[in-house]
Structure 1
Amino acid sequence: MNDLGLGTQYPIIQAPMNWVTDAKLVAAVSNAGGLGVLGTNAGQREVTPNPKQVEARMTAEIQKTKALTSRPFGINILTPGDGRALATSPYTIAMLKAAFAEGLRHFVVVGQAHQETFDLIKQHHGMVIFRPLTPSVQEAQLAEQLGADIIVATGHDEGGVLPNREAGTFTVVPEFVDAVSVPVFAAGGINDHRAVKAVQALGAVGVYVGTRFLATEEAPVADNVKQLIVDTPSQATVMVSGNQRAIATPQAQVYAETYAETHDTSASNRQIGRDGGLRESMLLGHLDHGIITVNNGIGTIKQIQSVHEVIESFFE
């Protein structure tokens, strides 16, 4: 077991990707020695606008995960932005209620450092693993002051919603390591053991991995999408907005062309959302809707493997 307070065999945290995590994936990560994390909409296939349904659905997914693993796992919490009170985020409150009621202790908190959210988690004896959406030394130091136990340094190499700052993982990680005294995990473009060793050389004590887990047997990702990730070279990706990268499917190329003309990230993201976003494409496999978001090094992902095989290969 590592000594970071995670209770895991290896210092690896599975990124809580929206729509494409579920009990099966999360339990597989935890059983293989990492920290599995339930993302927002974990285990779901349909959107709900009802916070009470969000709480009930997450409670059920937590219970499913408990039935599959006796090891620690976590949950994703999105903080309110712009200094707003927690009461303004009913979905975040719903997620917290579900986690507290089920006794979870690991919270991957994403967004801005938020005193109220951190304090509430600590009151329930939880561990705060904080990942600022846009990494900065100031935000990392503030998070440490507010009680974060682990801080994730995310480079622009990542998949998902990209940082506004176009700094790579190799830039952000040593900056964070030098700026804070709590453990730093590295995120962004980490697909194999070489990347793990590289970020450890920069001072990171662990890794936070999303894209590589998409191409695993246990991931709730459509089979055609898993195969597409394996078959796609790194250069075959496009920027579909100012903060989203995707595999260059014909539909993604349409978004990319529109964004290249308008440079309007908000409008582009709204259109992608209206077309189904990650749910339609990555979860349901409808490549003519939404996007397949990935890190910028997918060319190193050569095969679909089990979660256990992936994690073992990271620390060989």
Structure 2
Amino acid sequence: MKYNRICQILGIEKPVIQGPLSWLTDARLVAAVSNAGGLGVLGPNAGLTAETAVSTPEETAEKMREEIRKTKKLTEKPFGVNLIPTPENDIWTPPILQVIKEEGVKAVVYTGYGEGAIITSLFNAGSVFIGTEESRVPQSVKDKIINANGLDLLLFRTLPDYYRSLPGKLADKLVSMDKAGASNEELAQTMGGLRGLRIGMLEGNTDEGYIALGTGIGNIRSIKSVAEVVNELAIC
């Protein structure tokens, strides 16, 4: 493989960085990416479920500490944590950043609030890992992914930008609202933010949640190991 400055800076073997995937990441997936030579990244709510989710900045930071320590038990390679600072009165970032420092995490993947194109592109960059063997996404969602292509995705406006989702009751409703002229705020409220992501992609309920993916899903035709995906991306 050719010399790569990013690899040298991050201490990784292959120029592959797993896009942050919020609820869809956990220690197993992230460690698998890092063990394969890339950089795994724990997203917000990594490893959590509806039952284990917490509501305060301090509790959230401690949950991230738990997932960081689980990841360390599975890999000795570098991995990162995703931070999403807000522009005003940011009470969430400081405690998580403190945990990152205390736990010695080497990389922080910053996602700026309001930079919709960046947020969407980072999520899309992680789509290829959603359908892997190590992904915590249920088999029902993986099956939908490998049987779909980019033309199947529904496009609708929301905050902070456009989203694409596989068809489902909620996604269909959002498209109808968009066509009827609903505001971005109304669409965002109906969409349910990351809660809608959890319900759709982690619980497989597309009546109340959505399955957000990038247009490159047509290239995902089978369930592969993370190592296979990293190797394929590294030689592209």
Q: Per the alignment, do residues 68 and 275 of structure 1 end up closer, same or farther by CA in structure 2, a change over 3 Å counting? A: closer
Letter in 1 for 2:64: M
**Match status 1:67 vs 2:69:** no
**Match status 1:266 vs 2:205:** no
Q: Which residue of 2 aligns with 1:79?
A: 85
Unaligned runs of 5+ in 1: 113-131, 136-153, 155-160, 164-186, 190-208
Task: Pick the structure with more helix per residue.
Answer: 2
Q: Which residue of 1 aligns with 2:101?
A: 100
From 50, 56, 69, the equivalent of 1:50 is 56
CA RMSD of aligned residues (A): 2.1
Q: Per the alignment, do residues 109 and 219 of structure 1 end up closer, same or farther by CA in structure 2, a change over 3 Å counting? A: same
Q: In 2, are the aligned partners of 1:37 and 1:74 still within 8 Å (CA)?
A: yes
Q: Which residue of 1 aligns with 2:138?
A: 222
Q: Which residue of 2 aligns with 1:9?
A: 13
Percent sequence identity over aligned pairs:
35
Q: Pairwise mapping of residues 103-182 of structure 1 onto structure 2 (< 5 A)?
A: 103-111=104-112, 133-134=115-116, 154=118, 161-162=119-120
Bigger relative CO (Cα 8 Å, ≥ 6 apart): 2
Q: Which residue of 2 aligns with 1:167?
A: none
Partner SS, residue 297 of structure 1: helix
Cα deviation code 1:5-37 (max 9, x no counterpart): 011111111111111000000000000010000
Cα deviation code 1:220-256 (max 9, x no counterpart): 1121111111111211111232421111223311221
Query: In the aligned structure 2, how far is the partner of 1:261 from the partner of 1:60?
Result: 44
TM-superposed deviation, 1:276: 3.9
Query: In the aligned structure 1, how far is the partner of 2:206 from the partner of 2:91?
Result: 32
Query: In the aligned structure 1, how far is the partner of 2:150 from the partner of 2:168?
Result: 13
Query: In the aligned structure 1, how far is the partner of 2:176 from the partner of 2:42?
Result: 33
**Match status 1:34 vs 2:35:** no
TM-score (norm 2): 0.88
Q: Which residue of 2 aligns with 1:286?
A: 205
Runs of 4+ in 1 over 4 A off after TM superposition: none
Q: In 1, are the aligned partners of 2:39 and 2:79 still within 8 Å (CA)?
A: yes
Cα deviation code 1:256-284 (max 9, x no counterpart): 11121124122111111189411111011
Partner SS, residue 226 of structure 1: helix
Q: In 2, are the aligned partners of 1:238 and 1:256 still within 8 Å (CA)?
A: yes
**Match status 1:25 vs 2:29:** yes
Q: In 1, are the aligned partners of 2:27 and 2:74 still within 8 Å (CA)?
A: yes
**Match status 1:212 vs 2:128:** yes
Letter in 1 for 2:90: S
Unaligned runs of 5+ in 2: none
Cα deviation code 1:31-68 (max 9, x no counterpart): 00100000000000023221111011000000000000
Partner SS, residue 30 of structure 2: helix
> How many residue pairs align between the two structures?
226
Query: In the aligned structure 1, how far is the partner of 2:177 from the partner of 2:137?
Result: 27
Q: In 2, are the aligned partners of 1:275 and 1:290 still within 8 Å (CA)?
A: no
Query: In the aligned structure 1, how far is the partner of 2:214 from the partner of 2:194?
Result: 21
